Amino acid sequence: MRLLWGVVTLSLCVYHANAATGPTILTNPESVFNLTNAVLTCNITDPPSPIKGNYWMKDGVEIKNTKSEATASTTQFTLDKIGNTDGGVYTCVFETEPISQKTIDVKTPPHVKPYKDSEHGNENDKGVLACVSHSYPAPTDWTWYKITETGNEPIINGTDKYEIKSQPNKTYLYITLLDMNADMGDYLCQGVSELGMASGKIHLRVRSRLAALWPFLGIVAEVIVLVTIIFIYEKKRKPDEITDDDDSGSAPLKSNAATNHKDKNVRQRNSN
Ligand SMILES: *[C@@H]1O[C@H](CO)[C@@H](O)[C@H](O)[C@H]1NC(C)=O
Ligand SMILES: *[C@@H]1O[C@H](CO)[C@@H](O)[C@H](O)[C@H]1NC(C)=O
Ligand SMILES: *[C@@H]1O[C@H](CO)[C@@H](O)[C@H](O)[C@H]1NC(C)=O
Ligand SMILES: *[C@@H]1O[C@H](CO)[C@@H](O)[C@H](O)[C@H]1NC(C)=O
């Protein structure tokens, strides 16, 4: 057993020794934050094989038009006007055998947007409001507020009324049993990261249950009106049809009045 551990330890040491003699890539700067422009530089020493070229990646995806066949040991990538969505993990890749690469974090403050500026729900239903952040790094904390006349009231998670479900770049606020008076209004979602905070505002409208039924009631009313018109029209036509039937005398359906009338005629004829 002790021998086995010895072998394992020895091979781990050999592995570490190999790693230490691999290439070194120095980056400048080591990371970027709160900047509007930046030039990312990588400088490789001791490449494992001759350099055949290089390119850059963002969040693991090759950045278009950065591929170069340059054999130089340095490469640069320029970021102009760093926007909220430009943050991420940038990587310089030198084409060696095996490839050599190093990452540079580009961090931007949170950029919070409501999923929709305005949401609506029906009375007594469950309402849901959502916000997303496109920044790197994603917010570490999310808070929801209800905007009232006296200020922003923080919303407490896990009450009968509210539930907050947050992921790093997304947050949801669920509101149960929507009330037209109490729940209608403006809400604020706020994301906080090491680089700052940002918030988004959502307006929630609550419709009465009846209002939700209006389109349906409209159709029902239309159908009733149509049926009534058809009914009245048919009623008006009916007397004509009866006299027609009477003349032909072959109608299977006769009103009692018509039959009585005929009987009378017959009786009269008999008496003549
Ligand atoms: C790259 O690094 C080497 C040694 O660390 C240094 O001598 C050289 O000047 C650097 N080159 C650039 C372009 O930064
Ligand atoms: C949120 O993060 C997930 C994975 O962490 C990613 O797939 C998704 O695209 C991100 N969404 C936004 C809006 O950044
Ligand atoms: C809110 O509470 C629920 C359970 O009541 C929990 O699952 C959820 O993770 C909590 N959300 C936050 C943001 O703490
Ligand atoms: C980045 O800038 C924001 C606002 O400009 C500031 O609040 C924040 O403290 C800065 N972050 C760092 C790490 O300097």
What's the pLDDT tens digit per position in 118-147? 999 999 999 999 999 999 999 999 999 999
Whole-structure pTM value: 0.69
What residue has token string 């918030």? 199
Ligand 2 contacts CB of residue 128 (under 6 A): no
Ligand 1 contacts CB of residue 43 (under 6 A): yes
Burial 146-174 (b: 16+ CB within 10 A, else e): beeeeebeebeeeeeeebbebeebbbbbe
Whether 218 shows a pLDDT value over 90: the answer reads: no
Q: What is the pLDDT of residue 18?
A: 47
Q: Are strands 196-207 and 118-122 parallel, antiparallel or unpaired?
A: parallel
Q: What is the pLDDT of residue 236?
A: 84
Q: Which of 49, 97, 104, 48 is nearest to 75 (CA)?
A: 104
CA distance 206 to 142: 24
Ligand 2 contacts CB of residue 169 (under 6 A): yes
Ligand 3 contacts CB of residue 75 (under 6 A): no
Q: How far is the CA of 166 from the centre of ligand 3 (A)?
A: 8
Residue 266: band (very low, low, confident or very high) from pLDDT cuts 50, 70, 90 = very low
Q: What is the pLDDT of residue 240?
A: 59
Q: How far is the CA of 194 from the centre of ligand 4 (A)?
A: 8
Express each pLDDT in 64-121 by its tens digit: 999 999 999 999 999 999 998 899 999 999 999 999 999 999 999 999 999 999 999 9
Q: How far is the CA of 117 from the centre of ligand 3 (A)?
A: 24
- Mean pLDDT within 233-262: 57
Q: Which of 70, 101, 198 is nearest to 140 (CA)?
A: 198
Residue with the smallest CA separation from ligand 1 atom 2 is: 43
Cis omega (within 30 of 0) for bond into 98? yes
Q: What is the pLDDT of residue 17?
A: 42
Express each pLDDT in 24-35 by its tens digit: 999 999 999 989
Ligand 2 contacts CB of residue 132 (under 6 A): yes
Q: How far is the CA of 143 from the centre of ligand 3 (A)?
A: 12
Q: How far is the CA of 34 from the centre of ligand 4 (A)?
A: 6
Paired strand residues for 93: 55, 101
Ligand 1 contacts CB of residue 27 (under 6 A): no
CA atoms lying within 13 Å on the CB side of residue 65:
1
8 Å CB contact between 92 and 42: yes
Lowest-pLDDT range, 12-16, 93-97, 202-206, 264-268?
A: 12-16
Atom of ligand 1 nearest to the CA of 43: 1
- Torsion sign, CA atoms 145, 146, 152, 157: negative
